[in-house]
Amino acid sequence: MQANRSVRTDLVLEANELFKQQALKEKMQEQGETPGVEVENAGDEDIKITRVRVVSPTGEASVGKPMGNYITLEVPGLKENDQVLYENTCKAFAKELGSILKLNEKSTILVVGLGNWNVTPDALGPRVISSIMITRHLLEYMPEQVDKGVRPVCAVAPGVLGITGIETGEIIKGIIEKVKPDVVIAIDALASRKMDRVSTTIQIADTGIAPGSGVGNKRMELSRDTLGIPVIAIGVPTVVDAATMANDTIDLVIDSMIKQAKQGSEFYNMLNNIDRNEKYQLIQEVLQPYIGNLIVTPKEIDDIIERISKVIANGLNIALHQGITLEDVNRYVH
């Protein structure tokens, strides 16, 4: 059985949840475990960490994502201005990123901020770049001014095809040929199937990324296969589509009615037997003539992007440089 492709999501965590829900409903597997997928839970109630590893072609088919490691941090409190939680999230993100980065002392890192800086929900990548510790030029021209343990880091925000007229992947390939980095870290905005995960969830993957796929505008893939070096993808869901919101709202109503209905009654059985996948497809068909492929984002998205971009940037700064702390970051970032 394959994951439900009709629900728009870039999060492997959600793809795995969808598979297990469908498997349980069809009673294909008693425990609802996804074949070829290993899941490990960590963290606490403030910062929930889920490590998903797709280990076989069966797992790929189940969740619709390539084999590799996917780490998700869910931090509902990021919506609030909690300084302690902010700092703890930076550190937790840095630790998880460091667990899948394979760097030596002199590794050169190219950080790529994907997205359109003119559209706030898609501006996460460029915003992160503006807060990254850029050190490659310092190590080249004034190494005596740089602390021990600082690695050469360079960054670029290549824009989108509609602005540049050039495939983002082609721009990155050209830079790699000249700079010869050891690894690429790409940051992009994603799409979620749940509104409460928008801008409170960070996904790290070592399988690369396809820019624009979250809004159905898939471009050239950035991965080891296309670029020739490891590609770590970092994404934050900033949007959901309207059909997903409507579908989830109706699901909440149905679940509430099931709890209130008399178990075993005709009404209870009717609600329990509603096919959730068919319902979602019906919602899509009904909405399409009126709103098309409408993408929705929170009204406070400006503040959210500012906050989450700083979390990712500071987490990167800590993970990429040995011995660097949050207190050191301001010496390099202006």
Q: Would you say residue 121 lies in a domain?
A: yes
Domain check: are 65 and 162 in the same one?
Answer: yes
Domain check: are 204 and 101 in the same one?
Answer: yes
**Contact criterion met (CB below 8 Å) for 110 and 151:** no
Domain check: are 184 and 264 in the same one?
Answer: no
The pLDDT value recorded for residue 20 is 56
CB atoms within 10 A of CB 242: 17
Q: Would you say residue 5 lies in a domain?
A: no
Q: What mean pLDDT value characterizes the chain?
A: 83
3-state helix, strand and coil shares in percent for the chain, rounded to the nearest 5: 45, 20, 35
Domain check: are 271 and 316 in the same one?
Answer: no
Domain check: are 277 and 306 in the same one?
Answer: no
Structure tokens that stand for 181 in this block: 């980095």
Closest CA to 314 of 331, 289, 302: 331
The pLDDT value recorded for residue 106 is 86
Domain check: are 222 and 264 in the same one?
Answer: no
Q: Would you say residue 2 lies in a domain?
A: no
Domain check: are 308 and 258 in the same one?
Answer: no
From CA 166, how far away is CA 269, in angstroms rounded?
54
Q: Would you say residue 251 lies in a domain?
A: yes
> Rg of the chain over CA atoms, in angstroms?
21
Instruction: Indicate which CATH number applies to the domain containing 150.
Output: 3.40.50.1450
Domain check: are 29 and 46 in the same one?
Answer: yes
Q: What are phi and psi of 105, to 5 degrees?
A: -60, -30
From CA 129, how far away is CA 112, in angstroms rounded?
7
Q: Would you say residue 17 lies in a domain?
A: yes
Closest CA to 228 of 188, 189, 179: 179
Q: Would you say residue 7 lies in a domain?
A: no
Domain check: are 45 and 172 in the same one?
Answer: yes
Q: What Cα–Cα distance (Å) separates residue 178 from each residue in 37, 68, 110, 123, 162?
A: 38, 28, 12, 26, 25
Q: What Cα–Cα distance (Å) separates residue 13 from each residue in 16, 74, 138, 192, 248?
A: 5, 10, 39, 10, 17
Chain centroid, CA 39 distance in Å: 17
The pLDDT value recorded for residue 213 is 53
Number of structural domains the chain divides into? 2
Task: Give counts: helices (H), strands (E), the chain.
Answer: 13, 9
The pLDDT value recorded for residue 113 is 95
Domain check: are 149 and 195 in the same one?
Answer: yes
Domain check: are 94 and 144 in the same one?
Answer: yes
The pLDDT value recorded for residue 326 is 75
Q: Would you say residue 229 lies in a domain?
A: yes
Instruction: Indicate the pTM of the whole model.
Output: 0.81
Residue 119 belongs to what domain range? 12-243+294-329
Structure tokens that stand for 180 in this block: 């010869």
The pLDDT value recorded for residue 23 is 52
Domain check: are 170 and 282 in the same one?
Answer: no
**Contact criterion met (CB below 8 Å) for 234 and 203:** yes
- Low-confidence stretches of the chain (pLDDT < 50) are 1-7, 24-31, 214-215
Residue 222, Cβ density class (10 Å: 0-12 exposed, 13-18 middle, ≥19 buried): buried
Q: Would you say residue 1 lies in a domain?
A: no
The pLDDT value recorded for residue 16 is 58
